[in-house]
Amino acid sequence: MSTPIVTLATSSQFPNLDPDEQGLPDALRERGIEPRIAVWDDPSVNWDDAGVVVVRSVRDYALNRQKFIDWARSVPRILNSAETMAWNTDKHYLQSLAKRGLPTIPTIWLEPEQNLSKQQIHSRFPASGDFVVKPTVSSGGRGTGRYTSTDAASRSEAIDHAMYELSEGRSVMVQRYLDVIDRQGETSLIYLNGLASYQVEKEPMLHPRFRSAKDSHVVDEVAHLADASEETWRWGEQIRKALHGYIKDVTGRDELLLFNRVDIVRGDEQSDSEFYVMEVSLIDGSLYLGSDDDLVGRFADAIQTRISW
């Protein structure tokens, strides 16, 4: 019986995987799997000979979204599926989840075809508090800016930020920044092969002072493994079920996701919900394997399970 092959797809920025995941090849070897690492857009790679391809550190997919989708569709065996990842590459998916009853942060969507003027963009921004501007297609926090609505200079920078993204043909999201994030951070719920696996608490990434998207306002993620509370897993299960149902409608089949990271934040005093879905990561989102020595092994076990089927 031949040794099964698993190729970990990465980007040229992380040719040896993200530091958080560099223990994964050894963990796969320990399970009798031959690990390989390949850059997703390297033309010299023969993906027909790559075994099961697990997408991980492809931090640059947003720079050429269609090329990435075409590549994923060309790979014979890829996890998560190409169609699921195609849906997840554009944060308009939050609209789909909201229609299924999941609480998402109220969002103003700016589209290139609207040909909005600066004044029209200005009128769509929140009248009070901080808010976030970001493109709907982005990875790793790129193109994200936090601004203060009542500060004229900050508001002007936000307008310029939105105008730039729109001029490049990118849709833009405008969301109220929840102050509770500064106090409590965010929570990431990690599912492996459809099962709740572990919970991570993350410190705020956006600087609490208003900053332009051009500034170094995004800091490295600081995440800690946390005891999973019944409350957050209850919320996570609600999200997982809605997501599973929607993906089934999109792809036409029942898909068991190898990995699924759900980012949530508690509602604040201005919120209508106990929690909000911040993001669902089915492509390159960190699984925070470095948060605990046991987590790399858990992910390797999940991969081994899938190639054994």
CA 303/CA 309 separation, integer angstroms: 10
- Does residue 25 carry a pLDDT above 80? yes
Is 170 in the same domain as 189?
A: no
Is 82 in the same domain as 56?
A: yes
What percent of the chain is predicted at pLDDT more than 90?
Answer: 68
Q: What pLDDT, in 10s, does the model give residues 55-110?
A: 999 999 999 999 999 999 999 999 999 999 999 999 999 999 999 889 999 899 99
Q: Binning pLDDT at 50, 70 and 90, where does residue 282 land?
A: very high
Is 145 in the same domain as 233?
A: no
CA 74/CA 53 separation, integer angstroms: 11
The residue that leads in pLDDT, 235 or 258, is: 258
CA 19/CA 57 separation, integer angstroms: 10
Domain of residue 230, residue span = 180-306
Place of tokens 């999940």: 302
Q: What pLDDT, in 10s, does the model give residues 236-267?
A: 888 888 888 888 887 777 889 999 999 998 87
CATH of the domain at 129: 3.30.1490.20
pLDDT of residue 205: 61
User: Which one, of 7, 147, 172, 164, lies nearest residue 78 by Cα?
Assistant: 7
Is 153 in the same domain as 234?
A: no
pLDDT mean across residues, the chain: 89
Question: Rounded mean pLDDT of 24-29?
Answer: 97
Q: Please tell me the pTM assigned to this model.
A: 0.89
Q: Binning pLDDT at 50, 70 and 90, where does residue 270 land?
A: low
What's the chain's length in residues? 309
